[in-house]
Amino acid sequence: MKSMKLTGIREMQMMEVPEPVISGPYDVKIRIMTVGVCGSDIHYYTKGNIGSQKVVYPFTVGHESAGMVVETGRDVKRVKKGDIIAVEPAMWCGKCDQCLSGRHHTCRKLKFLGCPGQAEGTLSEYIIMPESSCFPMPENLSADHGSISEPLAIGVYSVKKAGETKGLKAAILGFGPIGMSVMLALKAAEADSIYVTDKIDERLVIAYSEKATWTGNPLKENIVESLMKKVPEGIDVVFECCGQQEAVDQACEILKPGGRLVIVGIPEFERWSLNVDITRRHELSVQFIRRQVGCVEPALEMMSNGKIDVSRMVTHRFPFAATKEAFDLVASYGDGVMKAMIDF
């Protein structure tokens, strides 16, 4: 089968590799249909690592995926041959203290698709996944929805971890696919107002189309001054979704006393810094996000029932053979790209 593999920094090549075969009773063989390009994929493509997780070439990335079931192990009951499914990229042991307490996403033996040292990704024609990572799609959803359910689940989980947001003022700093997922989840949770920043104007146009209360570009204005004029009392909850220290600094300044900072973005550096005076005197709460747990099905359900509309998220499409073009576009933030989708 064909598999697109990273072969060096900003280099990739289509290779022929053995087609995977089912070996366990709960295995599911999936023919991949769509893969969304994620920011973490771009980290591996342009840097070769995220923190201690370093690529050993050649390596296949990709994890935002949907596909068709082509074969199942003898004990699989959740899905059947011919089903279109969303693929949850995390594979957990089910036995450690974290799994037994319901924290599958921090499993001590977690394996994640497209993560170096753990599991090859989904930029291949076929993959094998455990039944627990396979989610049947509602009939009114497409393969795109299945791929989008991965980042959307992170947005749903982030809003859930922020606590009650109904009727509150929220800000999203960084409006890529994760920031947009947070916004869609906030709208579903009936936040009172949503303030959005990003350095790409085309993304702010999308945010405005999604009924953002206000949008701002930090390259063109002082975000703290602008927001504090709009909301003098401060913001109730801020979601940092770009992995930038400057966004965390801005968040601490625009939060009201007792406000909540939710850090969702993945930085390229190793340590965050917090203003001790502001965070202590204003008694700010900080919540870090490690992907999601238990939010794939809610994300699919909200897309199915119309509570969340993701129609503006996918802005560019590429055939499997043009995967490198997709990665180069996303890495350069070119052409106002929000989400690039790869079709098989």
Specify the pairing of strand 134-136 against strand 169-173.
unpaired
In the prediction, which pLDDT does 198 show? Answer: 98
- Classify domain 154-288 by CATH number: 3.40.50.720
Per-residue confidence band for 268, with pLDDT thresholds at 50, 70 and 90: confident
Cα–Cα distances (Å) from 312 to 41, 184, 193, 202, in that order, read: 21, 11, 20, 12
Instruction: Name the residue with higher pLDDT: 58 or 51.
Output: 58
Residue 272 has pLDDT above 90, yes or no: yes
For 13-60, give the DSSP string.
Answer: EEEE-PPP---STTEEEEEEEEEEPPHHHHHHHHHSEETTEE--SSB-
Show the beta-strand stretches assigned E in 222-324: 235-240, 255-263, 285-288, 314-319
Question: For the residues 242-264, what does the mean pLDDT come to?
Answer: 98
CA dihedral 105, 54, 323, 207 (to 10 degrees): 50
Tokens for 101, please give them: 């307490």
Share of the chain above pLDDT 90, in %: 99
Long-range contacts of 21-26 (CB under 8 A, 24+ apart): 21/128, 22/71, 22/72, 22/73, 22/128, 23/128, 24/73, 24/130, 25/73, 25/74, 25/75, 25/76, 26/73, 26/75, 26/76, 26/130, 26/131, 26/132
Quick one: pLDDT at residue 51? 87
Nearest in space to 106 (alpha carbons), one of 123, 119, 93, 125: 93
Domain ranges of the chain: 2-136+313-343, 154-288
The model carries a pTM of: 0.96
Over range 159-168, report the average pLDDT.
98
* Predicted local distance difference test score (pLDDT) of residue 259: 98
Confidence bin at 233 (pLDDT 50/70/90): very high
Residue 93 CA to residue 108 CA, distance in Å, equals: 8
Mean pLDDT of the chain: 97
CATH class name, domain 2-136+313-343: alpha beta
pLDDT band, residue 270 (cuts 50/70/90): confident
